[in-house]
Amino acid sequence: MYIPSLLMLSAVMLAQEPDTQPSIKVEVDVVSVLASVRNKQGGLVGNLTKDSFLLSEDGKPQTIKYFTRETDLPLTIGLLVDVSRSQERLIDTERDAASQFFSQVLRAKDMAFLISFGEECELLQDYTGSARLLRAGLSGLKVNAPVGVLSPTPGPVPTIYQPRGTVLYDAVFLAADEKLKGQVGRKVLVLITDGVDMGSRLKISDALRAAQKADAIIYSIDYEDPSAYGGGGFGIRLGGGMGESELRKMSEQTGGRVFKVSRKHPLNEAFAEIQEEMRSQYAMGYTPINGVRDGSFRHIDIKTTDKDLKVQARKGYFASRPEEQ
């Protein structure tokens, strides 16, 4: 089922049971934040308490009302796989690693969906808790590129020619706004892509805003096939890490990270690290001192009392107006 426009990705939302953990019960005036903490060596730290954290909003200290270190909070995962021409040689590896990931990460009450994106977005599997159905969806991964376009070809001015070849930002917006928004519990988008967007109708700011409004964490797996860009100056401009900065922006702003795939760090290891991080998060909630819901973006800063530790969490949220709830 191809999705030629943003409005056509409509799917029935499967109802999830309300979570029993007080830390993520959705209250109008409570902001929920998920955080991971790492030491200087990059290892995850999982033995902190509420008193270990210092949280502020727009520079003003806030009181953490709810806190838990539970690792079994309900999880909704959207896997977005780049199937543009530049990823053609990587699809088989992506399929195998993603299948293993779903088999290992999904637990009771967890849900996942699968979207591929190239010239257009395609919903390969709607919400399900079945690793078997997700594996079946993964079998549908195939190149989706404009007919007759084998690889990007530069013009005198690279910005003039903008084929719809990799609609990354459209895919992130769709997944966040039409699939994750309104869901409860922890919400994660996992992107497998080289990060190069070609032809999206929306901008990266639109995609990021949708993810922030959905309270979704973005984990980006930077997986590139350098040969797909033919080398030379054009390869340097579009491939070879050109998309990494965009992936880093979306991931870090939402509390996620970028995982770079290489010979020394294969795709299955990146999936394993994401799985470990998702099961090692702190969930905390607070009632903002500024209770005005005016639609503005509020900046969140979280630190620990131990200056040697680094907190990874979303950078803020939108104080949605009542009619936007």
User: What whole-number distance in Å separates Cα of residue 264 and Cα of residue 116?
Assistant: 26
Better-scored residue on pLDDT, 18 or 261: 261
SS3 54: strand
Better-scored residue on pLDDT, 217 or 27: 217
Residue-level pLDDT at 74: 84
Query: 290 pLDDT band (50/70/90 cuts)?
Result: very high
Residue-level pLDDT at 13: 33
Pairing relationship of beta strands 258-260 and 60-62 according to DSSP bridges = unpaired
Are residues 110 and 77 in contact, defined by beta-carbon separation less than 8 angstroms? yes
Residue-level pLDDT at 29: 81
> For residue range 35-49, what is the model confidence (pLDDT) as tens digits?
999 999 999 999 999
Lowest mean pLDDT among 21-30, 78-87, 166-175, 206-215: 21-30
Residue the block writes with tokens 């949605």: 320
Listing from the earlier edge strand, what are the strands of the sheet with 186-193?
Answer: 2-3, 121-128, 111-117, 75-82, 186-193, 216-222, 258-260
SS3 269: helix
Q: 3-state SS string over 79-139?
A: EEEECCHHHHHHHHHHHHHHHHHHHHHCCCCCEEEEEEECCCEEEEEEEECCHHHHHHHHC
In the chain, % of residues over pLDDT 70: 79
Better-scored residue on pLDDT, 212 or 238: 212
User: What whole-number distance in Å separates Cα of residue 50 and Cα of residue 94?
Assistant: 38
Residue-level pLDDT at 215: 94
> For residue range 239-264, what is the model confidence (pLDDT) as tens digits?
445 689 999 999 999 999 999 999 99
Residue-level pLDDT at 164: 65
Better-scored residue on pLDDT, 325 or 147: 147
User: How crowded is residue 262: how many other Cβ atoms within 10 Å of its Cβ?
Assistant: 12
SS3 312: strand
Spatial CA neighbour of 283 closest among 45, 75, 29, 34 = 34
Listing from the earlier edge strand, what are the strands of the sheet with 297-304?
Answer: 60-62, 53-57, 297-304, 316-318
End-to-end CA separation in angstroms for the chain: 29
* pTM of the model as a whole: 0.84
Q: The tokens of 105 are what?
A: 């990460």
Residue-level pLDDT at 323: 64
Which residue(s) pair with 60 in the sheet? Answer: 57
User: What whole-number distance in Å separates Cα of residue 60 and Cα of residue 58?
Assistant: 6
* Mean pLDDT computed over 273-301: 93
Residue-level pLDDT at 71: 66
In the chain, % of residues over pLDDT 90: 70
> For residue range 132-182, what is the model confidence (pLDDT) as tens digits?
999 999 999 999 987 654 444 444 444 444 556 799 999 999 999 999 998
Spatial CA neighbour of 78 closest among 98, 92, 97, 94 = 98
Which residue(s) pair with 193 in the sheet? Answer: 222
